[in-house]
């Protein structure tokens, strides 16, 4: 078997070679540096680069598996991958720990008035009249019920919060008090103090959230987006915040990235922005390689049908 990685894996490269002495590994820093003769015979491709498009995959004549070292696969040519019967796995779950921590950092930054406290600090003012709220007994709603919401729900329960989930069918998910279908979302938005988008980008989720969705949220709701920026048009979100349809937003992902310096979001007092960093963690490479190791073991055992974190290329997740 021949495995080509289109990214350097640092100390994980030696780990892979030691774990699988029977596999031929070739490591490139970037897809643009890959030798076409090597690609032609590759059985497994490891990457997360946008350069891995249909024309690039055409060079990989023997390809059986793409091991995607990111969660979102929307930039891949999924129809083409499905047509060629190439297996696809992703890094789902790798980012759950750190994104759950970011979600609660956003929540606590807001509810405990850290922004206001810091402004007082800069002015050398000892403002002991600030009165922070508590998240005890408050309700958090997740658009999406995958690994990240599951992990975050565990944290929410430790804070004695109620947890609501929204998924495609409304099927039950462990750790959630209530789960509704995505069609029912507007009926339950007004139950939530915090609404967190963690949906992947698919044809069904692009611009899913419209003006009417924000109108159905509580006026004091805090909207958090760590999923995909395309779930809502920036103009719709800005209008909802300006019109006080929601009180606050913490945003890590944007419809256009990098977020242009001209964006109105930068000027808003009721917005907290991070630069698509909520999934970053020094352990990501190891965790993603753990998934690759699991799947290479499966393939070595002749089992290509039961891969860990396999993506449905038709559905896009």
d(CA 150, CA 240): 28
pLDDT digits (tens, 9 = 90+) for 184-196: 999 999 999 999 9
How high is the pLDDT of residue 25? Answer: 98
Pairing of strands 162-167, 139-143: parallel
How high is the pLDDT of residue 149? Answer: 98
Residues in CB range of 22: below 8 A, 6 or more apart: 1, 300
208 — pLDDT class (breaks 50, 70, 90): very high
CB atoms within 10 A of CB 148: 28
How high is the pLDDT of residue 201? Answer: 95
Output the six-digit token pair for 274.
Answer: 């991070």
DSSP string for residues in the chain: -EEEESS--THHHHHHHHH-TTSEEEE-SSGGG--HHHHHT-SEEEE--TT--HHHHTT-TT--EEEESSS--TTS-HHHHHHTT-EEE--TTTTHHHHHHHHHHHHHHHHTTHHHHHHHHHTT---TT------TT-EEEEE--SHHHHHHHHHHHHTT-EEEEEESS----TT-SEEEEGGGHHHHGGG-SEEEE-PPP-TTTTT---HHHHHTS-TT-EEEE-S-GGGS-HHHHHHHHHTTSSSEEEES--SSSSPPTT-GGGG-TTEEE--S-TT--TTHHHHHHHHHHHHHHHHHTT--SS-TTB--TTTT-
d(CA 9, CA 46): 10
pLDDT averaged over the chain?
97
How high is the pLDDT of residue 24? Answer: 98
118 — pLDDT class (breaks 50, 70, 90): very high
How high is the pLDDT of residue 76? Answer: 97
5 — pLDDT class (breaks 50, 70, 90): very high
Average pLDDT over residues 231-255: 98
d(CA 55, CA 146): 32
pLDDT digits (tens, 9 = 90+) for 65-114: 999 999 999 999 999 999 999 999 999 999 999 999 999 999 999 999 99
172 — pLDDT class (breaks 50, 70, 90): very high
CB atoms within 10 A of CB 150: 20
Distances (CA, A) of 225 to 77, 83, 126: 25, 33, 33
Instruction: Read off φ and ψ for residue 286, nearest 5 degrees.
Output: -65, -45
How high is the pLDDT of residue 72? Answer: 92
Q: What are residue 4's DSSP bridge partners?
A: 26, 45
d(CA 139, CA 137): 7
How high is the pLDDT of residue 258? Answer: 97
């Amino acid at each position: 078997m021949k495995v080509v990685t289109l990214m350097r894996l640092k100390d994980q490269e030696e780990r892979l070679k030691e774990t699988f002495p029977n596999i031929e590994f070739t490591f490139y820093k970037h897809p643009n540096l890959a030798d076409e003769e090597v690609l032609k015979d590759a059985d497994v491709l490891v990457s997360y680069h946008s350069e891995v498009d249909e024309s690039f995959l055409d060079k990989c004549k023997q390809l059986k598996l793409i091991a995607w070292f990111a969660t979102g696969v929307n930039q891949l040519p999924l129809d083409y991958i499905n047509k060629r019967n190439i297996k696809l796995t992703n890094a789902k779950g790798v980012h759950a720990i750190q994104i759950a921590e970011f979600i609660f950092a956003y929540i606590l930054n807001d509810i405990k008035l850290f922004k206001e406290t810091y402004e007082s600090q800069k002015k050398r003012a000892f403002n002991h009249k600030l009165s922070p709220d508590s998240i005890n007994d408050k309700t958090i709603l997740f658009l999406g019920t995958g690994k990240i919401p599951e992990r975050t729900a565990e944290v929410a329960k430790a804070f004695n919060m109620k947890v609501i989930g929204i998924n495609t069918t409304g099927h039950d998910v462990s750790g959630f008090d209530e789960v509704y279908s995505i069609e029912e979302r507007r009926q339950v938005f007004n139950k939530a103090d915090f609404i967190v988008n963690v949906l992947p980008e698919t044809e069904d989720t692009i611009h899913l959230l419209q003006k009417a969705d924000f109108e159905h949220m509580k006026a004091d709701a805090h909207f958090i987006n760590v999923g995909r920026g395309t779930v809502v048009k920036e103009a719709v979100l800005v209008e909802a915040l300006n019109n006080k349809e929601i009180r606050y937003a913490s945003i890590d992902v944007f419809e256009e990235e990098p977020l242009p310096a001209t964006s109105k979001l930068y000027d808003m007092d009721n917005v907290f922005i991070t630069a698509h960093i909520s999934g970053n963690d020094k352990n990501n490479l190891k965790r993603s390689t753990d998934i690759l190791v699991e799947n290479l073991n499966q393939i070595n055992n002749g089992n290509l049908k039961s891969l860990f974190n396999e993506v449905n290329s038709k559905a896009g997740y």
